[in-house]
Chains A and B, each alone.
Chain A
Amino acid sequence: MHPAIFISASVLVGMLFALQEWLNARRWGYRIRLTFVGEMWGMQFLLWGIFCWLLWRFLRPLIVKARVLTLVTRVLPLSIATSIAEEMIWVLFFPKVPIDRPPMDYWHRLTFQLDAEFVDSMAIFWCAFLLFRGVSYYQKFREKETTTARLQVQLVQARLAALRMQLNPHFLFNAMNSISSLMRTDVEAADVMLEQLSSLLRMTLERGEVQLIPLRKEIEFIETYLAMQQQRYSGRVRQSLAVDPELHDAMVPALILQPIVENAYVHGLSKCAGDGELSIDIRRDGKRVRMSVVNSGNGLHAERDVAGRRGVGLVNVRDRLRLHYGEQGTLLVREFGMGRVSVTIALPLQIGESGTDEAARFDA
C-alpha cells in the first residue's frame, strides 16, 4: 500500500475520534474549539500512521512470522518503546496541553500524558499489528490461489501437448511407410510425398506448443495432408473442401481436423474400391464454428467388429475440445444412408488477430 494512503487513512480515523470528543465535550457543556481537538487527534494518528508504516516497511517478516515467544520478547518491548516514542514527539508539539493547568515542564507533561494515554497507545499499536498480520495472511492466501490456478492451466497444457504428441508419430510413421513402399515402385511419387511430408512437419514445428491457431493454418495443413492422401489413394477418392472466408482468422485447436480426416481414410475410404468421397465443410453457425467431415465407406456398424479402433483418434479430439472449451466444444458422429459417416465438431467462434508477419513481398 502506498504510504500516503495509509497515513491519510490513519489521520482520518484520528479525525473521527476528534469529532467524537468534541461532540461529547459539547454535550457536557464544555466549550472547546473543534480545530484544537482536531489538531491533537490528527497529530496523534498522523504519528501513528507514520510509525506503523515504518514498522511495516522494515519489520514485515517479524510481524508476519512472529510466534508467541517473539511476541513477548520482541514485539511487546517494541510496542512499549513505540508508544513512549510517539507520546514524546506528540508532547513536543503541544506545549499547552494539558489545558487549564499551570505551565509544566516537558518531562512533567510527558508523564502526565503517558499516564492518560499509554494504554490507548498500546491498543493502537496492537490493532495495527493485527491488521498488518491479517492483511499479509490474506495476501498469502490470494497468492496461493493464483499459483494453484496457474498450475492447473499448466497441467492442462501439458496434457494437451501429450495428446498432440500421440497424434503426430502415428501419422508420421504411416506416411514414412507409404514413402518406403513407393520407393520400390515409383520413385518420383515417393519424392513428391517426401516433400509433402516435410511441409507438414515444417508447419507442425513452426507452431511449436501453440494450442490455438488460425483456421487458415489448420486448412493449409489439411490441404497438404489431403494432397498426400490423394497420392496414396491415387485418385480413388474425390475430395472437396469448403471454408467460409469469414473464418480464416477463427482460432481453432491445432491439428483438430487431421485425426478426423485420417479416421475417414483409415476406417471409411480405405474400404472403397473407387468412387470414394470425402467432403470437409467449415461454416459459421451463429457464434460457433461448425466443421464437418463426411466420408463414404461402410458406415459405423461394420467398424464395430474391429472393436474400439475408430475410438483413439476421436477420443483425443473430444478430450481436447473439452479441455479447451468445456461443454461448449462438441463432437458428433453420425451415420446416414449408403454407409456414409459424418463427424461434426462445433466450438465457440473466437476471431484471433491476424498476423502481418507472413505478408507476401513483391519485386521492386
Chain B
Amino acid sequence: MTIQVVLADDEVLARQKLRSLLREQSDCEVVGECATAAETIELVRTAHPDLVFLDVRMPDMDGFDVIDALSAEKEFIMPRIVFTTAYDHYAVRAFEVHAVDYLLKPFAPERLWAALERIRERAGGTLTGDAKEHGEKRYTSRMVFKSKGRILFLPVSEIRWIAAEENYVRISAGKETHLLRETMAHLETRLDPHFFLRVHRSSMVNLQHVKEVRLESDGDTAVILLNGEKIPMSRSYRARMQRLLHP
C-alpha cells in the first residue's frame, strides 16, 4: 500500500529536499505541499493523507496549532505526524501529541528512512493515533530523549540491550548506544517483561533481539543477540530465561 504524504514547511528548499528523498521510496506518494498552517489544515482535511511532515514554525500558526485544529474535528482520522524543525525544544510536546518522529534539521536520509520504517511497521494495522493503540497498556511503547545533539523517539522494540553504568543506563539501539540518566529498576517497571528480561544484575536484553543462549566453555552462560553481540548472563537469571525460551 502506498503512503500518501503531505509536506508542510514554509521553506521551499526544505520541501524540495523531502520531495526528492521521498521519490526514492516507491511506496511513498507526495499528494501535496503547503507553506502555511492554514493551508496545511485545509489540505489535510480534503486529501486525507497518511502522513504529514510538519514544520513547527510557520508564518501564521505553528505545527501544534495545526494538530489542535485537526484533532478538534470529530470523526476525523488523524494522519501520522513527523515533525521537521531546527529547534530541539519542542520535542517533548511533539512526543506528547503522539508524533511518530522528530527530525532535527538538517537531517541525514538515514534518519528519514528510520522514520518511514516506523510508519510502515504500523501501517499493517489501522492508521490511527498512537494514543488509541497504546493508551491502555501499562508499559511504554517508546521513549523520547536527547542524545548526541539529536532528539530520539525510540520505539522500545528497537532496544537491544540495556546496561547499568553507575547512575546511568546505556541503551543499545540501531548502530549506537545512548547514555541516559535512568535506573534499571525504573526502566523495569516501564518496559514490558514479556520482552525485556534481566539477565544480570546490571543488564537487560530485549528477547526480540536474542538469537540464542549459549553455555560457554568456562561454565558461564551468555546471551547471543541477532547481531552477534554477546551479553554475559548470571546464574540466578538463567532459570528464568530458560523458562521463557522453552515453555
- Confirm or deny: A232 has a beta carbon within 8 angstroms of a beta carbon on chain B: no
**Interface size of B as a range:** 35 or more
Bound together, the chains give a CA A359 to CA B130 distance in angstroms of: 22
Q: Give the docked Cα–Cα distance between A196 and B109 (Å).
A: 12
Residue of B nearest to A188 (CB): B109
> Does A198 have its Cβ within 8 Å of any Cβ on chain B?
yes
Once the chains bind, are B134 and A358 in contact (CB under 8 Å)? no
A363 touches B149 (CB 8 A): no
Q: Which residue of A lies closest to B136 (CB)?
A: A364
Check B182 for interface membership: any CB of A closer than 8 A.
Answer: yes
Q: Which residues of chain A are within 8 angstroms of B149 by Cβ–Cβ distance?
A: 198-203, 206, 220, 224
Smallest Cβ distance from A224 to chain B, in angstroms? 5
Shortest C-beta distance, B11 to chain A (Å), equals: 16
- The answer on a CB contact under 8 Å between B179 and A192 is no
| Residue contact A245 to B182, C-beta cutoff 8 Å | no
Given contacts A220-B149, A224-B148, A224-B149, contact A364 B141 (CB under 8 A): yes
B237 to chain A, nearest CB (A): 21
**CB-CB contacts of B176-212 with A at 8 A, as 1s and 0s?**
1001111000000010000000000000000000000
> Counting chain B CB atoms within 10 Å of each CB, which of A354, A359, A361 scores highest?
A361
The distance in angstroms between the C-alpha atoms of A90 and B105, with both chains bound, is: 83
A249 contacts the other chain (CB 8 A): yes
Q: Please determine whether B148 and A220 come into contact, CB atoms closer than 8 angstroms.
A: yes
Chain B residue nearest in CB terms to A247: B166
Tell me the complex Cα distance, A362–B109, Å.
26
Tell me the bound Cα distance from A304 to B184 in angstroms: 51
Residues of A within 8 A of B137 (CB): 364
Q: Is the pair B134, A354 in contact by a Cβ cutoff of 8 Å?
A: no
A246–B134 contact, CB under 8 A?
no
**Chain A proximity mask over B63-95: 1 for CB below 8 Å, otherwise 0:** 000000000000000000000000010001001
Q: Taking the complex as formed, is A216 at the interface, i.e. its CB lies under 8 A from any CB of chain B?
A: yes
B198 to chain A, nearest CB (A): 18
Given contacts A220-B148, A220-B149, contact A363 B143 (CB under 8 A): yes
B167-A249 in contact (CB<8A): yes
Q: Are A358 and B143 in contact (CB under 8 A)?
A: no
Question: Do A364 and B135 touch across chains, with their CB atoms under 8 A apart?
Answer: yes
Interface string of A324-364 (1 = CB under 8 A from B): 00000000000000000000000000000011101111111
Q: A363-B134, A364-B140 are in contact. Are A195 and B106 (CB under 8 A)?
A: yes
Verify if B111 is at the interface (C-beta below 8 Å from A).
yes
In whole angstroms, how far apart are the Cα atoms of A249 and B141 in the complex? 29
A248 to B164, CA, bound (A): 12
Q: Does B165 contact A (CB under 8 A)?
A: yes
A165 to B110 Cα, complex, angstroms: 31
Taking a contact as CB atoms under 8 Å apart, the answer to whether A245 and B181 are in contact is: no
Distance in angstroms from A209 CB to nearest chain B CB is 18
Instruction: Please give the distance in Å from B167's CB to the nearest CB on chain A.
Output: 6
- CB–CB A248/B110 < 8 A: no
Beta-carbon contact of B181 and A203 below 8 Å: no
Given the known inter-chain contacts A245-B166, A363-B143, please indicate yes or no for A191 contacting B95, CB distance below 8 A: no
How many chain A residues touch B (CB < 8 A): the figure is: 34
Q: Distance (Å) between the CB of A234 and the closest chain B CB?
A: 16
Known A245-B165, A249-B167, A364-B140; judge A220-B134 contact (CB<8 A): no
- Quick one: given A354-B181, A359-B182, are A248 and B168 in contact (CB under 8 Å)? yes
Residues of A within 8 A of B146 (CB): 358
Give Cα A311 to B33, complex, Å: 53
Is B122 interfacial (CB 8 A cutoff)? no
Q: Does B142 contact A363, Cβ atoms closer than 8 Å?
A: yes
The verdict on A199 contacting B143 (CB below 8 Å), with A188-B109, A360-B182, A362-B190 known, is no
Given A224-B148, A354-B181, A356-B181: A248 touches B165 (CB 8 Å cut-off): yes
B205 to A: closest C-beta gap in Å: 19
Answer whether A195 and B107 are a contact pair too, CB < 8 Å, given A220-B147, A224-B148, A363-B141: yes
Chain B residues with Cβ under 8 A from A245's Cβ?
165-166, 168
Per-residue A-contact encoding for B157-169, CB less than 8 Å = 1, 0 else: 0000000011110
Q: Is the CB of B180 within 8 A of A195?
A: no
Q: Is residue A194 within 8 Å, beta carbon to beta carbon, of the partner chain?
A: yes
Q: Does A194 contact B108, Cβ atoms closer than 8 Å? A: yes
Among candidates A194, A216, A356, residue contacting B168 with C-beta atoms closer than 8 Å: A216
Contact A202 B106 (CB under 8 A): no
Complex: chain A residue closest to B153, CB-CB: A363
Q: Does A223 contact B (CB under 8 A)?
A: yes
Collect the chain B residues with CB atoms within 8 Å of residue A199's CB: 104, 148-150
B14 at the interface (CB under 8 A from A): no
Q: Which residue of the partner chain, among B106, B134, B135, B143, contacts A361 with CB atoms under 8 Å?
A: B143
Cβ–Cβ < 8 Å partners of A219 in chain B? 179
List, in ascending order, chain A residues with CB within 8 A of B106's CB: 191, 194-195, 198
Q: How far is the CB of B40 from chain A (nearest CB, A)?
A: 25
The 9 closest A-B CB pairs, nearest first, are A199-B149, A245-B165, A360-B145, A362-B140, A195-B108, A202-B149, A192-B108, A203-B149, A245-B166
21 A-B contact pairs sorted by A residue (CB < 8 Å): A195-B108, A196-B108, A199-B104, A200-B149, A203-B149, A219-B179, A221-B148, A223-B148, A227-B176, A246-B166, A248-B165, A248-B166, A248-B179, A356-B181, A359-B182, A360-B144, A360-B180, A361-B95, A363-B130, A363-B142, A364-B141
Q: Which residues of B contact A (CB under 8 A)?
A: 88, 92, 95, 104-111, 130-131, 134-135, 137, 140-150, 165-168, 176, 179-182, 190
Question: Contacts A203-B149, A358-B181 given; 9 further ones with Cβ under 8 A?
Answer: A191-B108, A194-B106, A199-B104, A199-B148, A227-B176, A355-B181, A359-B181, A360-B181, A363-B95
